Amino acid sequence: MITAVSPRSRGALALTLWLAAMALGALLIARAQFSADLSAFLPVSPDAQQRVLIEQLQSGVAARTLLLGIEGGSAEQRAQATRTLAASLRESGLFEQVQNGEPGDWEAAGELLFQHRYHLSPAVAPGRFTVEGLRDAIDETLSLLGTPAGSAVKPLLERDPTGETQRIAEALIPANAPRSENGVWVSRSAPRALLLTVTRAAGADLDAQAQAIERAHSAFAPLAAQGLSLQASGAGVFAVQSRAQIEREVKLLAAVGVAAIGGLLMLAFASLRALAVALLPVVTGIVTGVAAVSLSFGSVHGITLGFGSTLIGEAVDYGIYYLMQARPTVGSTPGSGWRRWRDENWPTVRLGLLTSVCGFAALVFSGFPGLAQLGVFSVAGLTGAALATRFVLPVLVPDGASGQGLRRPLGRLGAHAVQALPRLRGLFLLLGLLSAGLLIAQGGQLWRGDLNSLSPVPRAAQELDSMLRADLGANDAGTLVVASGADQETALRAAEAATQRLDALVEQGLIAGYEAPTRLLPSQAAQRARLASLPQAAELRERLARATHDGPLNAERLAPFVDEVQAARERPVLTRASLAGSPLASAVDALLFERPNGGWTALIPLQPGSADVDPARVRQALQHLHGDPSAGEIQVVAVADELNQLYATYLREALTQALLGAVAVVVVLALHLRSGRRLLAVCQPLALAVLLTLGGLALLDVALGILHLVGLLLVVAVGSNYGLFFARLDAEGGIDDDTLASLMLANLTTVVSFGLIALSHIPALSAIGRVVAPGALLALLLAAVFSRMARPRAPVRR
């Protein structure tokens, strides 16, 4: 039979293509990079301030900072432990900086600073070496002698009577340094010793971050035996922990989800074969989705993977519809059931797929890679799952599932429900009105979820982090002045111009101080200007004699000063290269770097005074500094504000996209249904389901964010299928038990799988689950409530 051979060979072709596609997908996934850092949730085309922020988040010193605390034992034990741990970490080579309050590191650097004091001291200016200037500077130095601070000044008196070393040192001591006891840093609020380390590895290199953290723990192991405990925090710790948590939960959710849904399907079909077939579109969907994301983005974010497990809930519906609806009519040839499904049900599934794809396609064009990944994943995954259902399942099980299982009771229950539910129409409309009222009353308050609500970092870890940061005076979200230029020199000059203005703010008490790379590496211009103000030996000698006349310090003693000033005049200016190998280099590199896209940036973190730094005041103070573009550019970045703004933009963009997606769904439905009344019949329950879900969340005072929005899109995607089935069956004048049973089973699996996700500890996932589980249930319920069917008809018998 020629007609029989053709479908079979087409079946073989479909299977072969499917297997090839799966193999290709598996290959792509095996080669895919998986990431869990924040960068996927940052915009791809940021403005200048956001770019600085992102560079900082990805590779800045904040992303590489590891904060350590040691608790337990006595104060002496802890002090000894931080010395041992610091020595071991310095030796490991994994850390660029290890600070615990010991002077160690700076002693070596001190010599270099002392040698270059006339290059570095901000006090060195033309007036400094006049008779008047010398007298004033020497007087100031003398005012320290005979006091405890004099013990540092006195040994240098003959070489540095003008106190340039003191000036340099003064600027390098931060205003909010940690408490020091027994020569090491300790907490002010708890019996705890502190260490501040900066890893060499980039913050985004999570494997290296994990290695550095592991190193700290292993170095601490012998100390732990004494009853001491080590606490670690920082961006790297959070990222490593989050990655592990996402991996763990995604695996757990997938396993529990598959088990729960498998159990349900077993109950429904009482057949292992049917179970395997129902899961086939799910597997296809996930493989297609992950492969598509990996292909288009180069890497797959952990959250996207987590989202993958949510797709089980929707993709499994396709399998259920097929298995229950592809039954041969009485009297037709066995093996022809799929044709009936293809003719009667596939158009509805296809339309449902199309609306879902429209909804998620809006996300594909998002400026945020994380959201775009979710979009690509959903579109590709759902398409893959639907295609597998359409072309592969008919080959494997042409007549759907044969077993009965729960099918009949479900169908009967459904039939009763369909009869009874329309009576509740008034109640649901009233609830809808109440929800709308509540939403309007909450207004802009509703979408107040911030970036923190996305963070998978548990509260206890966040508290530990803020405690250690408070102890160490290490602000994570402060205000930065950013000076940039085409080259290093321009950036440094811009930074110098900015710090002059900032000094005034320090005087006014608006800020306590600031850190600047120019303190250790001034611009070449500034260094040359300083050297130019150093007088010749003879002249200096003559002026010194006049300046010290009548004073307690004899000019004869200051011969070494005259020699060293001469030596300084000859000494070449400091460059980044001449700092190499000293701890000064890493201190400079933390604040001065070449940008990936060209140009140089110098960072000036501000230290808050008694009140928080007001970025507006700082901006005002720095006004008119950036008139000339060749003189570099100055910006003030308030990190926390910037992040929140970023998220707000992100949310606004996502809301617009979701609305566009919703419009696209309605347009597709309208084009297909070609009837205002039927369009209303499909959209009404869907819109009401979304409204009631939102109302419920508002009632529970949930701060809604982007992932709730993604969840609502999913509700629309899943719910449109229900609506379409009901609309079609309405048009045909009744509903059959099989379709009803398949809808109920599909809904049950969706609610169960999203219900599981709602219990996740990852806020991103639980947000989606908490929206979709009730939303999907409501969508089916409301589809039945607004159904116009008078009474169910008997199973089709044509």
Partner 1 sequence: MKQGSAARWVAAIAAACCALPALAFDLAELMAMLQRNQSGEATFVEQRFVKGLDAPLTASGTLSFAAPDRFTRRTLKPREESMVVEGNTVTMSRSGRSRRIALDAAPEMVGLVEAVRSTLTGNGQTLERYFRPDVSGNAERWTLDLVPLEPRFASQVSSVRVGGTRSEVRSIEMQLGDGDHSLMVIEPVRLTTSEPAKPPGAEASRP
**Residue ranges binding partner 1 (CB under 8 A):** 136, 139-140, 142-143, 145-151, 154, 157, 170, 173, 175-181, 183, 188, 473, 503, 506-507, 512-513, 552-554, 557, 609
* Tokens standing for residue 615: 């970025």
Calpha distance 268→320 (Å, rounded):
10
Q: Which residue has the tokens 């085409």?
A: 486
CA pair distance 753, 310, nearest whole angstrom: 7
User: Least distance from C-beta 127 to partner 1, angstroms?
Assistant: 13
E strands in 43-112: 65-71, 95-99
Which residue number, 145 or 486, has a Cβ lying nearer to partner 1? 145
Q: Give the shortest CB-177-to-partner 1 separation in angstroms.
A: 4
| Pick 607 or 657: Cβ nearer partner 1 | 607
Residue closer to partner 1, measured from CB, 149 or 790: 149
CB 497 → partner 1: shortest distance, Å? 19
Q: How far is the CB of 496 from partner 1 (least distance, A)?
A: 17
Phi first, then psi, for residue 665 (nearest 5°) are -60, -45
Q: Which helix (H) or strand (E) holds 142?
A: helix 131-142
Give the C-alpha separation, 706 to 212, whole Å.
Answer: 33
State in angstroms the smallest separation of the CB of 519 from partner 1: 13
Residue (503 or 614) nearer to partner 1, CB: 503
The number of residues making up the chain comes to 798
Strand-strand pairing, 592-594 and 600-608:
antiparallel
Q: Considering beta carbons, is residue 14 or 123 the nearer one to partner 1? A: 123
Nearer to partner 1, 388 or 510 (CB): 510
Q: What is the DSSP string of 531-579?
A: HHTSPPHHHHHHHHHHHHTTSSS-GGGGHHHHHHHHHHHHSPPP-TGGG
CA-only gyration radius of the chain, Å = 35
Cβ closer to partner 1: 135 or 390? 135
Centre a 10 Å sphere on the Cβ of residue 272 and count the other Cβ atoms it contains: 12
CB nearer partner 1, residue 71 or residue 503? 503
Report the alpha-carbon distance of residue 512 to residue 503 in Å, rounded.
10
CB of residue 625 vs partner 1: minimum separation in angstroms? 21
CB of 489 to partner 1, least distance (A): 27
Of the pair 149, 430, the CB lying nearest partner 1 is at: 149
Q: What ranges make up the beta strands (E) of 609-676?
A: 633-638
Distance separating alpha carbons of residues 474 and 39, to the nearest angstrom: 23
**Interstrand relation of 633-638 and 479-485 (parallel, antiparallel or unpaired):** antiparallel
Beta-carbon count within 10 A of 395 CB: 17
Cα separation of 694 and 686, whole Å? 12
Write the CB contacts of 611 (distance below 8 Å, at least 6 apart in sequence).
Answer: none
Look at residue 70 and give its three-state secondary structure. Answer: strand
Burial pattern 172-189, b for ≥16 Cβ within 10 A else e, equals: eeeeeebeeeeebbbbee
Q: Which is nearer to partner 1, 142 or 759 (CB)?
A: 142
681 Cβ neighbours under 8 A, 6+ residues apart:
723, 726, 727, 730, 786, 788
Going by C-alpha positions, the residue among 464, 584, 573, 587 that lies closest to residue 529 is 573
Shortest CB 610 distance to partner 1, Å: 8
Least distance from partner 1 to the Cβ atom of residue 140, Å:
6
Measure CA 747 to chain center.
32
Which of 353, 350, 347, 360 shows the shortest CA–CA distance to 307?
A: 360
By beta-carbon proximity to partner 1, the closer residue of 170 and 641 is 170
Q: Which two tokens stand for residue 411?
A: 């169908």
Q: How far is the CB of 192 from partner 1 (least distance, A)?
A: 14
Closest distance between partner 1 and the C-beta of residue 102, in Å? 12
Of the pair 21, 142, the CB lying nearest partner 1 is at: 142
Between vectors from CA 450 to CA 449 and to CA 455, what angle results, nearest 5°?
A: 105
Q: Which is nearer to partner 1, 169 or 417 (CB)?
A: 169
Identity of the residue, 181 or 614, whose beta carbon is nearer to partner 1 in the bound complex: 181
Least distance CB 552 / partner 1 (angstroms)? 4
Structure tokens at 196: 């501040």
- In terms of CB distance, is 79 or 380 closer to partner 1? 79
- Identify which of 65, 45, 52, 42 has the alpha carbon closest to the alpha carbon of residue 481: 52
Run of H or E including 370? helix 369-387
How far is Cα 85 from Cα 250, in angstroms, rounded to an integer?
35
H/E run at residue 230: strand 229-233
Token pair 């590895």: residue: 201
Name the minimum Å distance from CB 249 to partner 1.
42
Of 174 and 262, CB closest to partner 1: 174
Contact call for residues 576 and 522 (beta carbons, < 8 A): no
Q: Provide the minimum distance between the beta carbon of 191 and partner 1 in the complex, in angstroms, as a whole number.
A: 15
Burial annotation 244-256 (CB, 10 A radius, 16+ → b, else e): ebbeebbeebbeb
Nearest approach, Cβ of residue 146 and partner 1 (Å): 3
In the complex with partner 1, the residue whose CB is nearer, 140 or 489, is: 140
Q: Which is nearer to partner 1, 155 or 733 (CB)?
A: 155
Nearest distance from residue 637's CB to partner 1, in Å? 23
Q: What is the crossing angle of helices 676-699 and 706-732, to 10°?
A: 140
Q: Residue 138 CB, nearest distance to partner 1 (Å)?
A: 11
Q: Min. distance of Cβ 165 from partner 1 in angstroms? A: 15
Exposed e or buried b for every residue in 474-497, given b needs 16+ CB within 10 A? bbeebbbbbbbbeebebbbbbbbb
β-strand partners of 637: 480
SS3 for 93? coil
